Structure 1
Amino acid sequence: MFLNRFADGVDAVDLTGTEEFASLLQSADELGVTHADTVRYVSRNTVVRGQRFHFSEWGVPGRPQLLLLHGGNQSAHSWDLVSLHLADRFHVFALDQRGHGDSEWSRELDYSLDAMVADAEAFVAAVGLDRPVVLGHSMGGRVTLTLALRRPDLARALVVVDVGPEVSEAGARTILDFVARNLEFDDLDQFVDNVVRYDPFRSREHITRTLRYNLLQRADGRWISKVDHRRIPHPNRALTLDDVRAIEVPVLVVRGAESNILEADAAVRFADALPSGRLVTVDRTGHNVHSGNTTGFLAAVAPFLEAVTGD
């Protein structure tokens, strides 16, 4: 019933003339996110490991490459404002991970960390990325760290957003409870109300605008989130501080000042364990750092990206 099947075409679709892009520009202007007058933004698909993946591509080939990995129950669109701002300096690839957004759902119901790391590694090869900087939020941050441990040669640097070896169990339960209560619903306004209560740092207007690519409407009229509803939490081995000591590339750890997931002392221990790690805390935002305070996130991250890519 929920199998998310889309056309497997691999041709790039230009989105800059769409209502979706116009809406994004409006949000950027309201939130103070600067961007170039002309931006390349396309939607693409690729097939890796026998599964179709959707991704957004921003910017001009030949610029330093960024791979963006979203958090659980989100999508590549969670990075849209960040990508818009960075597209004049970087070649940005934002991936819908398996079972999320417009990527295919796993036929085997395999949503393990191992599977997602293998997907990311195969995606890098499939689209021809050459030592990109990998940015990962929450679930995507865990993928980022594990990928760096398994393939130390793959990324030139990492940005890990509001996750680490030590996370708050109570905060994680809050996320799982919110997701479980909001998989499907009848009324869009009620859903927006729920999101605002859960994440008060995001503007109601921007949340409303992003619904169009985070939700699907079924034939019976009910709305559902664009994630595989059959997905269940997978018992993955947790990374430890000893594990991350083996990551030698530069790592920027980004924490939301009001995060209920990555607590302040845990973030310090994480950054201290990294051979080339640095911690920044972004004010006026919680776990969803880059959407709760996009300008603060960009102010923290852009100088790091420019430094590690030589710009």
Structure 2
Amino acid sequence: MFKRLHAPRHVWTHVASLGIRMHARAWFGSPEAFGGLPVVLLHGLGFSSRYMVPLGRRLAEQGYDVIAPDLPGFGRSPRPVGMKWPAGPSVSEQADHVLAWMDACAIQRAVLFGNSLGTQVAVEVATRAPERVERLILSGPTPDPLYRSPGKQYARVLMNMPFEAPCLNAITQLDYASAGIPRIAQQLSRTVDDPIEDILPAIQAPTLVIRGQHDQTLSQPWAETFTRLLPNGQLVVIDKAAHNVHYTAAQVTARLVQCFLQGALDNHRGDEVIVPTLKRDPLAPPKPITTAVHGVLDYATSLLCLGLSQTPGLGSRTRKILAYNGASATLYSLFTNYELGALRKLPMTVHLNLDTMSGVKLLLASLTLLRREPLPGKLTIALLGALELLVVSATQLPMGPARLIRIQGQNLYAET
């Protein structure tokens, strides 16, 4: 009997061919959902299944059985026996690992969801063993031909970070530290020059390609070319999201996956909203601060900082920090794309990352630069830093809508 769980169940599977026990996070829905076939979530470069938790929870809530493995050498799964350190695997090797793990779990056929490098692995599995893949969902597929060198690819990874939710950047650092920089560097060098376009026409499974509007790793032209090469592919763009849409826009992505698996996209011709903007996510932690309220707090805090910077008793360094913080916060608030923004050029995710950096800097300053300043000034700076971090963590970040994009020159969207 299946039991629905919001928190993941930690599953360990002995994979004899690899000589290790692989770890996975699993959620169980109902046996009837999608014919009992599981949805397998494949993580990207240097990550583990940890950042798949938001999507896994929501897909399980919809009734699907979901399992997200830590591929060997990442997360809690050790590297395969005989693979020498730093053990940064190639796409082909990770496809071997996935198939060996599926065999050990007795998963004969599944839906594969891959993010970033995970899309390359999913495509390799689908071309090598098409009978094992029912459908494919490829989120932020790599590598874009414009960035097929380790330097260029890693630069794009860094450029993505301001567009992701601040809490995801913390998970990124944790997973990267766990995997180790040598392993990630070796994996990047072995996977970045992958001519994935050569095997896309051989994909037999219906495929959904997902791109976040602000994805810095996957350009819109390449996303459309990528989809066009698929015999049965559809492209959806999620507004306001970036590379890791399954985490930042988990609720929208889960509903989109449900539409795809239920065949609700099959009769659409593109240029349509499939999933509208969703402001409330019942499975997310409570976030009582709307973007409008956040804007009010931004300007109020900036005015407070500028006003306090004129207080002589706080110390010269304290006053300079307050003045700088107030002026810079006012400037990027004016550029933010929210209700109180004047120019509305800066995505809300970038704004929240700037707020996070500001909050951390204020806390550090209160402990270092202001050691010899009067106590009231140090406490003021520390409280302002803590307040900024608290407001960031409590601010809603609505994503969407998810738009089906028309792909010209593809039979699926041929004019009648």
**Which residue of 2 is the match for residue 270 of structure 1?**
226
Distance 1:86 1:255, change over 3 A: same
**Which residue of 1 is the match for residue 79 of structure 2?**
105
**Residues 256, 289 of structure 1: 8 Å contact kept:** yes
Residues 18-77 of structure 1, C-alpha deviation per residue, up to 9 Å, x if partnerless? xxxxxxxxxxxxxxxxxx8x5463102223221332100111463331110011111101
Mean alpha-carbon deviation: is it higher for 244-253 or for 61-70?
61-70
Q: What is the letter of the counterpart of residue 204 of structure 1?
A: P
CA distance in 2, matches of 1:172, 1:288: 19
CA distance in 2, matches of 1:150, 1:281: 28
**Which residue of 2 is the match for residue 87 of structure 1?**
60
CA distance in 1, matches of 2:42, 2:136: 11
**Residues 147, 153 of structure 2: 8 Å contact kept:** no
- Please state if 1:54 is matched with 2:23: yes
Mean alpha-carbon deviation: is it higher for 289-298 or for 253-262?
289-298
**Which residue of 2 is the match for residue 192 of structure 1?**
none
TM-score (norm 1): 0.70
- Please state if 1:281 is matched with 2:237: yes
Residues 218-247 of structure 1, C-alpha deviation per residue, up to 9 Å, x if partnerless? xxxxxx711143311343562343421011
**Which residue of 1 is the match for residue 323 of structure 2?**
none
- Please state if 1:43 is matched with 2:21: no
CA distance in 1, matches of 2:169, 2:147: 26
CA distance in 1, matches of 2:7, 2:96: 28
**Which residue of 2 is the match for residue 227 of structure 1?**
179
**Residues 201, 292 of structure 1: 8 Å contact kept:** no
**Which residue of 1 is the match for residue 251 of structure 2?**
295
Taking only the aligned residue pairs, the percentage that are identical comes to 25
Specify which structure has the higher proportion of strand.
1
**Count of aligned pairs:** 247
**Which residue of 1 is the match for residue 293 of structure 2?**
none
**Residues 160, 243 of structure 2: 8 Å contact kept:** no
Distance 1:202 1:258, change over 3 A: closer
Shift of 1:167: 4.2
- Please state if 1:119 is matched with 2:97: yes
SS of 2:224's equivalent in the other structure is helix
SS of 1:291's equivalent in the other structure is helix
Pick the aligned partner of 2:135 from 157, 162, 166.
157
SS of 1:261's equivalent in the other structure is coil
SS of 1:200's equivalent in the other structure is helix
CA distance in 1, matches of 2:90, 2:131: 23
Specify which structure has the higher proportion of helix.
2
Mean alpha-carbon deviation: is it higher for 282-291 or for 164-173?
164-173
CA distance in 2, matches of 1:259, 1:178: 9
Structure whose alpha-carbon radius of gyration is higher: 2
SS of 2:41's equivalent in the other structure is strand
Pick the aligned partner of 1:76 from 49, 61, 77.
49
**Residues 29, 65 of structure 2: 8 Å contact kept:** yes
SS of 2:235's equivalent in the other structure is strand
TM-score (norm 2): 0.54
Shift of 1:164: 4.5
**Which residue of 1 is the match for residue 358 of structure 2?**
none
* RCO higher in structure (CA 8 A, sep ≥6): 1
Distance 1:132 1:122, change over 3 A: same
Pick the aligned partner of 2:174 from 215, 228, 232.
215
**Which residue of 1 is the match for residue 166 of structure 2?**
204
Mean alpha-carbon deviation: is it higher for 250-259 or for 288-297?
288-297
Give the aligned CA root-mean-square deviation in angstroms.
2.9
Distance 1:138 1:111, change over 3 A: same
Q: What is the letter of the counterpart of residue 26 of structure 2?
A: E
